[in-house]
Amino acid sequence: MLIGYAQTIITPSLARPVYMAGFAQNRQATSIHDDLYVRALAMCTRERTIVFCALDLIGFFRPDVQDVIQRVRGHFTELTKPEILIASLHPHDGPDTMGLWGPDDRTSGVDPLYLAELKDKTVATILTALAAATKESPAMKSVCLRVPGLAKNARNPEILDDELTALQFLDIDGRPLVSLFDFACHPEVMWEHNTQISADYVGYLRQAVEETTGAPCIFFSGALGGMMTPDVKEHSFAEAETIGQTLAKSGLEALENASSFPVQELDVQKKEIKVKLTNILYKFAFRRKLLPDVRDPQGKITSEVNLIKIGPAWFATIPGELLPKLGLALKARMRAAGAQVPGVICLANDELGYILPAEDFRFPLNPFKPGKHYEETNSISKEMGPVVMEAMLNLLR
């Protein structure tokens, strides 16, 4: 298998107002603590080319994703078009790329100029990674391990996914070419009063992995709904660094002790899904043009799930923030179907909010004061969870 990698800084300029996403409206960035990136990993065999692309952003809607993918695929013939996965990491210290966190509840926080620049950079980064796919990777390592004490479930404390999934592609001499880490926790250590642009704990994780291995690192967020949030004593960059470095150290130690093996399979299966939007808050946001209205005439939203196999490592890709109860169930089904190292990549090729088990879904009487049911107010429908899980199970069958 051939491996290619590229990355580009996507930190917004502070010359224009930058409304930060993830907490309250009108939280404007005042400085840059560390840069945000788009990172792309291309994996190529004779039969298949797949690109994993990670954005240090709160979310990237399907129309924007499709625009980027179509522009990239336009550079290839029908027989050589790559499969592309674009996933947001969901940091709460970056710019609003969705529209919900502008100066007030009637004004989008998205900067059209930044969004256009972002798409151009994402296209260019993916193409660069594909062009760089000339390094032979005859072997890889993959591990799953628990890393307790870093994340907690603020909604249901008894349901916790603290499993880290990590891969490492090796060159012919056994040296790392690229590392991939996947963990279920919101990158939100700094919390609501922070006004410094940052990739949060993810930035520290990647830095630690790269300094140790001398090779790039790409990160993805797992089933972080519910709310899978950092378990910290204070909201500080020191705590973010501790989480990032602990994950890096734990993953690298496990990879060091793991056996390497040739990659004998690279495959992707895709299934389109349709779910009717019922959330009244989203309908208000559509009317105020805070969110793009992507409903069809029947009121349904189209998205997708994917099952990607890289040797014994299988990844389920989910178009939103899957709650850990569903994430754990999905990984169990993946293991039963043959995955030795399962992982879940959320906010993949879309961002449709929280994805809950139907039996736990209770839309609050007053969505402006949701109490313990905040996630329902940021979910398109009670049916989203069952539809996503059934689609994934069909792919696994």
- Write out the chain's pLDDT in tens, 397 residues: 999 999 999 999 999 999 999 999 999 999 999 999 999 999 999 999 999 999 999 999 999 999 999 999 999 998 889 999 999 999 999 999 999 999 999 999 999 999 999 999 999 999 999 999 999 999 999 999 999 999 999 999 999 999 999 999 999 999 999 999 999 999 999 999 999 999 999 999 999 999 999 999 999 999 999 899 999 999 999 999 999 999 999 999 999 999 999 988 899 999 999 999 999 999 999 999 999 999 999 999 999 999 999 999 999 999 999 999 999 999 999 999 999 999 999 999 999 999 999 999 999 999 999 999 999 999 999 999 999 999 999 999 9
Q: Indicate the SS3 state at residue 255.
A: helix
What pLDDT does 240 receive? Answer: 98
Joined tokens for residue 332: 């169990």
Laid out side by side, the sheet with 163-170 consists of 139-146, 163-170, 176-183, 217-221
Distinct helix (H) and strand (E) counts, the chain: 8, 19
What pLDDT does 78 receive? Answer: 84
What pLDDT does 176 receive? Answer: 98
What pLDDT does 263 receive? Answer: 87
What pLDDT does 226 receive? Answer: 87
Q: What is the largest CA-CA distance in the chain?
A: 61
What pLDDT does 98 receive? Answer: 98
Task: Give the total number of structural domains in the chain.
Answer: 1
∠ Cα 327 330 332 (to 5°):
110
What pLDDT does 264 receive? Answer: 81
Q: Are 94 and 36 in contact (CB under 8 A)?
A: yes
Quote the domain boundaries for residue 133: 1-397
Give the 3-state DSSP-derived string for 246-293, with helices as H, strands as E and coil as C: HHHHHHHHHHHHCCCECCCCEEEEEEEEEEECCCHHHHHHHHCCCCCC
